[in-house]
Amino acid sequence: MDGANTSTAAPVLILLGPPGAGKGTQARMLEDKFGLVQLSTGDMLRAAVAAGTDAGKAAKAVMEAGDLVSDEIVINILRDRLAEDDCAKGVILDGFPRTTVQAQALDTLLGESGQKINAAISLEVDDAAMVSRISGRYTCGSCGEGYHDSFKQPAKDGVCDKCGGTEMKRRADDNAETVGSRLEAYHAQTAPLIAYYGGKGALQKIDAMGAIEEIAEGLSAIVTKATA
């Protein structure tokens, strides 16, 4: 057997991009279309905050300020989640890694289980547009579907298209002041990962300024190729 053949391993995809780039929206689309599991460290941390765990207590104020939670906390949460059975289908990482230390930890984790990264896909957007994207967004409290005051309204105001839920929520950190800090953290700590994955030959870029459906089509094509 050819030792280099890893095509039977479950796919591992990474979505890179600043807050507001649409990683969560597109990850959910890929989850449905390719039967993968979306792993959002932001969602995991918000759940930890809501549950009042030690990690959640440590993360709360950091997240509200728009800064990054410590690598140690995030890596531990992600490691535990990756070990769960459903991840054997393959995963889309949304919001992780966000620092070089996290990227190296991910390489080690995947190496231990004989997995590799199929593609790290960078969603390319203009910073200026991110503030309005983020300030207008909200999600369905029941199923998590994302909406936006201007760009993606449900067919019936206040009612989720996907599940009929009527409880919409806005994140505590989705306000104009915090968005500035989140964009800064992105440029200082996460943007260097574009070069990191470029150096590994795993980087793919996609213009993410267009319509959600167009971006979804482009992404699907990239994922189909990267997981073939």
172 or 221, CB closer to ligand ADP?
172
- Site membership for Zn ion, residue 145 (CB under 5 A): yes
User: Is 23 marked active-site?
Assistant: yes
Q: In this chain, which of 63, 121, 125, 222 binds ligand ADP, going by CB under 6 A?
A: 63
Please give the residues from 71 up to 130 whose contact with ligand ADP meets the rule CB under 6 A: 74, 95-96, 98, 102
The encoded tokens of residue 148 equal 């936006």
β-pair type (146-148, 168-169): unpaired
- As a whole number of angstroms, the distance between CA 75 and CA 83 comes to 12
In the chain, what is the straight-line distance between the N-terminal and C-terminal CA atoms, in Å? 19
Alpha-carbon distances of 44 from 37, 95, 118, rounded to whole Å? 13, 10, 23
Instruction: Find the angle CA(134)-CA(137)-CA(142) to the nearest 5 degrees.
Output: 140
Task: Compute the half-sphere exposure of residue 96: CA atoms within 13 Å on the CB side of its CA.
Answer: 30
Minimum separation from the CB atom of position 4 to ligand ADP (A): 30
Displacement of CA 39 from its chain's centroid (Å): 7
Of the residues 81, 152, 171, 205, only one is catalytic, namely: 171
Minimum separation from the CB atom of position 16 to ligand ADP (A): 10
170 or 225, CB closer to ligand ADP?
170
- Site membership for ligand ADP, residue 22 (CB under 6 A): no
Q: Which residues pair with 168 in a beta bridge?
A: 140
The encoded tokens of residue 162 equal 């996907």
Alpha-carbon distances of 84 from 42, 55, 77, rounded to whole Å? 18, 19, 12
Stretch that binds ligand ADP, among 25-33, 40-48, 83-91, 149-157 (CB under 6 A): 40-48
- Site membership for ligand ADP, residue 41 (CB under 6 A): yes
Q: In this chain, which of 53, 100, 142, 227 binds Zn ion, going by CB under 5 A?
A: 142
- As a whole number of angstroms, the distance between CA 153 and CA 132 comes to 15
- Site membership for Zn ion, residue 159 (CB under 5 A): no
- Site membership for ligand ADP, residue 60 (CB under 6 A): no
x/- contact string, 125-164, with ligand ADP (CB under 6 A)? ----------------------------------------
Q: Which residues bind ligand ADP (CB under 6 A)?
A: 19, 41-42, 45, 62-63, 66-69, 74, 95-96, 98, 102, 182
